[in-house]
Chains A and B, each alone.
Chain A
Amino acid sequence: MQISWHNNSFLHLDYPLLFGLLLLFAIGLLTLYSAGGQNLDLIFRQILRFLVGFGILLLLAQIRTQKIVSFVPWVYMFGILLLLLVLIMGESTNGSQRWINLGLFRFQPSEIMKLAVPLMVAWYLTSKPLPPTSWRLLVALTIIFIPVFLVIKQPDLGTSLLIAASGMFVLLLAGLSWRTIFGFISLTVLSTPILWHYVLHEYQRERIRILLNPERDPAGAGYHIIQSKIAIGSGGFSGKGWLNGTQSHLQFLPERSTDFIFAVYSEELGLLGVLVLLAIYFFVLSRGMYIALKAQDSFARLLAGSLTLTVFVYIFVNMGMVSGLLPVVGLPLPLISYGGTSLVTLMAGFGLIMAIHTHRRLLSD
């Protein structure tokens, strides 16, 4: 048996995935150009962020996955420490404490956990044969819910949801029995009233109430959903045309460059444009799952699979909330929305996925 490395001799990049990402980012820039009122400054800043993210992707993609394994617990512990710091001395914006000011730039530690949690869970579970025992499952759940709890406390429901999801996806892929999965789901459903009354903040409860009936506050909190639905719906089948969205250009649509950019896209490019965008996303997600499938050890496949699924959650939750299916939780649309931190985290995640694929050993006879 001969062992050789994957034939990406110079740069370890997965070109199909990179192609998908660049395509999405290009679409994002065009939409942002329209949504931001043709402000080139905004475009340059977004490109700059992308370049930072791409640099990290490039860096991570060059490292063999097995090498980072030993750092995983430390990264996780470091992340927990930062979250605690945030709660104690973080800066607050919009009534929640999420930031640590490092002097040069502000930094959101919960972003680290989006990667650290799936890494940690995957690391922990794969240290013993799969599927995990009940005891190990409990430990894994603890690993997930300590940071989730800390992020909820900030409070940042959207991010904590993503962290929880990214950890749970590892469990799902690791072969958690269906009984346990459904048991967990029913437990969640049953505990909804408790969550509603004791865990959720009033503003979060209000978001859910407004989702169910946006008309209860059409000028206030319901305004986002109402205007966003109008933008999407009025786009129709073929859209109003690029740069011609009235809902966005006349500023009826709030947060049109960031969380609600999908509404701008749908208004201007219509259902046809949406189908194209979803097709590209589906291609990227499928590529991620394919990489997971082809990964050669449990840690790598769990990591690739759960990171891909997390990207899916981003897409689904964002589009769901913009189109009025889900409550407004404040998640950006991957690679399209304007905004720094999550873009960098996403690129880092894709860097890890690429590393998994490009550092495979080719088995040949």
Chain B
Amino acid sequence: MPTFILKDSARENKIFYSRVVIAWLLMLLGLLIIVARLIFLQVTEYEHFDTLSEKNRIKILPLPPARGLIYDRNGVLLADNRVSYSLEIIPERVEELDFTLAELGKIITIEEDDIERFKKQLHKFHSSKGVPLRHRLTEEEMARLSVQKHHFPEMNITGNLSRHYPLGATGVHAIGYVGRINEQELKTIDKSEYLGSNYIGKVGIEKYYEKELHGTTGFQHAETNVRGRIVRILERSPPVPGKNLYLNIDITLQKYAESLIAKERAAVVAIEPSSGGVLALVSTPSYDPNLFVNGIDFKTYNGLRDSPDRPLINRAIRGQYPPGSTVKAFVGLAGLEYGVRSSHSRTWCRGWFSLKGQKHRYRDWKKTGHGSVNFSQSLEQSCDVYFYSLAHDLGVDRLHKFMNRFSFGKRTGIDITGEVSGLMPSREWKRRVLGKLWYPGETIIVGIGQGFMLATPLQLAVATATLSNRGQFKQPRVVFAMDDAKFNEMNVVPPSIKETVTLKADYYWNVAIAGMKAVVHGRRGTARKVAIGSKYRFAGKTGTAQVIKIKQSESYNARRLAKKFHDHALFIAFAPLKNPRIAIAVIVENGGGGSKTAAPIAKKILDYYLLQGSVSETK
């Protein structure tokens, strides 16, 4: 190698110098390209990337509010929040899912349903977030799991506030329950408000007062790393807890009423006439709302759903029954109001009624008839013929209009969702809905609460309360007051007067009430047996509603009929006569006669409420 000899020719030098300059310029150009790129990223697009960086950095985490508690009118806790422990599986840590599930199944009970629900939810979560496998772990299960915890890195036990109903099935049809938010509900709610919430009111008070009970979700802005771990909290707006609700319901009365009809398919609604406050709202059979809170298993649910006794139906507000003779006081008032009858007008009852020129006999419940009866007497004895003839004279449209004012055929506006309106027929209704003409014969049976007419137990109780109030209609209210944990004060929900039923003469009320009083206290009262030895005076009306049509030639014989074709037993009442404190409607499905089955139940409830002093008047 010619190492020490300078062999560079001038040409080689020249080429090399030019190449070095070009290479140097190329490097400069390259670095300038980088500078240009950096200017683009850091200056031109700065806002864009800064936003992205903040989005990476800051996660907004919801702080779910504690759901408001529910108390009865005496402060007995009806719904609270308890810490319940759930077993979660973190998918990204699972090696072999079926193996994990099988192994966990050896430690605690994991039902097929749990696994099915788990697998459904599995893909809805990010794989680093725990998916619940079992809810409501018992203490024993917790202990067993914690011993085995190191074998299951994919396992996580979390404590959540879970809704709990300490009294179980008591009052469930009024209180309702909460459950996990389903997809339909997701479409209607403000999602940002429910980011951290597991539950939403499904029925009853829990649903109607969802907004108040739920509270307001708080948020915290947290700096999180790439795995979602919180590094520090930047900003925090605390949640506002839901309001606590105080119900008008007296839970001891409710419980007592439930115990009386526990074995029946029945409903009781008791209302305080002065306020419209619902003292008891019973529908049996009942069910345990706690089953629904964290998702009911299919077997239990199907059992409840398919039971012939329909425990899930709230009979008090959704059961529609022919009200039978319980409507007679109201029909009678219509007669006075429209001047079709006077309080002294008498009707001759010979055991049946028929329209002129027609053979069909509308039979009285008493074959021999009641003889000559006025309004009060026909109430006392529950004479059908008086009301057949009265209804015929009134016509269905006037009847419809008058009964509507007592809330028959329309919703009472109670603060529980799902109330149905019953049916108070009219000619217009039949034409619109059935597309048929109204026959005069159909008016006649509406006079005794049969035929097309349907009413809910709630409507009967509200109408009775209105009557006992001499026309003052108070909207039924389950919630008495709500308090604000934040301001530590209680806001009473004021009773609302929806409409006052005013009659042409105020004494009409006296006539109707006198008739109803005679039902229990009168010599010939249909329910006189229940008032024997009563420590107070009250007013009532029996009702027996036919479930099937009895042919003209036949007579009703309970023993020959299957239970489900037995008559419904009804009774409405209020007490005391002056300044009534309670109005009540009782219905026992297929219970037979109102006087025999429903009236004694009602009387016991009245006794319990009025005599045992279980209720403190003021809170």
Q: Which residues of A contact B (CB under 8 A)?
A: 66, 69-70, 127, 129-131, 169, 172-175, 227, 229-237, 246-247, 250-252, 266, 270-271, 274-275, 278, 281-282, 285-286, 289, 292-293, 296-298, 301, 305, 309, 312, 315-316, 319-320, 323-325
Contacts and interface: CB of A to CB of B under 8 A. Distances in A.
Interface residues of B, number: 44
B31 A316 contact: yes
A103 B34 CA distance: 41
B256 to A, nearest CB: 62
Given A175-B19, A271-B39, A282 B31 contact: yes
Per DSSP, chain A at the interface is: helix
B339 to A, nearest CB: 82
A60 to B, nearest CB: 17
Contact of B24 (A69, A286, A297): A286
Contacts of B4: 66
B359 interface: no
A129 B39 CA distance: 45
B53 A246 contact: yes
Contacts of B24: 285-286, 289
Given A70-B1, A250-B231, A236 B31 contact: no
B52 A234 contact: yes
Interface in B28-71: 28, 30-31, 33-35, 37-39, 41-43, 45-46, 48-50, 52-54, 56-57
Contact of A234 (B15, B34, B50): B50
B227 interface: yes
B56 A252 contact: yes
Contact of A236 (B8, B16, B46, B224): B46
B23 interface: yes
Contacts of B23: 169, 172-173, 289, 305, 309
B53 A266 contact: no
Interface of B: 1, 3-4, 6-9, 12, 15-17, 19-20, 23-24, 27-28, 30-31, 33-35, 37-39, 41-43, 45-46, 48-50, 52-54, 56-57, 223-227, 231
Contacts of B7: 129, 297-298
A56 B30 CA distance: 29
Given A237-B42, A266-B42, A230 B6 contact: no
Contact of A232 (B1, B49, B56): B49
A175 B10 CA distance: 13
Nearest to B17: A293
A230 B19 contact: no
B1 A229 contact: no
B37 A325 contact: yes
B34 A305 contact: no
A233 B49 contact: yes
A233 B226 contact: no
Contacts of B226: 250-252
A175 B15 contact: yes
A232 B41 contact: yes
B20 A275 contact: no
B229 to A, nearest CB: 9
Contacts of B20: 173, 289, 292-293, 301, 305
A324 B42 CA distance: 13
Closest 4 pairs (CB-CB, A-B): A233-B49, A234-B53, A175-B15, A66-B3
Given A229-B49, A247-B53, A319-B34, A235 B27 contact: no
Given A297-B7, A298-B7, 15 more contacts: A70-B1, A129-B9, A129-B12, A230-B49, A230-B53, A233-B46, A235-B42, A250-B224, A266-B38, A282-B28, A289-B27, A296-B6, A319-B34, A323-B34, A323-B37
B19 A172 contact: yes
Interface centre among A70, A173, A250 (most CB of B within 10 A): A250
Contacts of B48: 233
A175 B19 CA distance: 7
A28 B24 CA distance: 24
Nearest to A130: B12
Given A130-B12, A173-B16, A312-B30, A230 B56 contact: yes
Contacts of B17: 293
21 contacts: A66-B1, A131-B15, A169-B23, A227-B56, A233-B45, A233-B53, A234-B52, A237-B42, A247-B56, A252-B226, A278-B31, A285-B27, A293-B17, A293-B20, A297-B3, A305-B19, A305-B20, A315-B31, A316-B31, A319-B37, A320-B37
Contact of A312 (B27, B35, B50, B56): B27
A324 B30 CA distance: 15
B52 A230 contact: yes
Contacts of A233: 41-42, 45-46, 48-50, 52-53
Given A173-B23, A250-B231, A298 B12 contact: yes
Contact of B46 (A69, A237, A324): A237
A53 to B, nearest CB: 23
A274 B42 CA distance: 10
Contacts of A325: 33-34, 37
Contact of A309 (B27, B38, B50, B227): B27
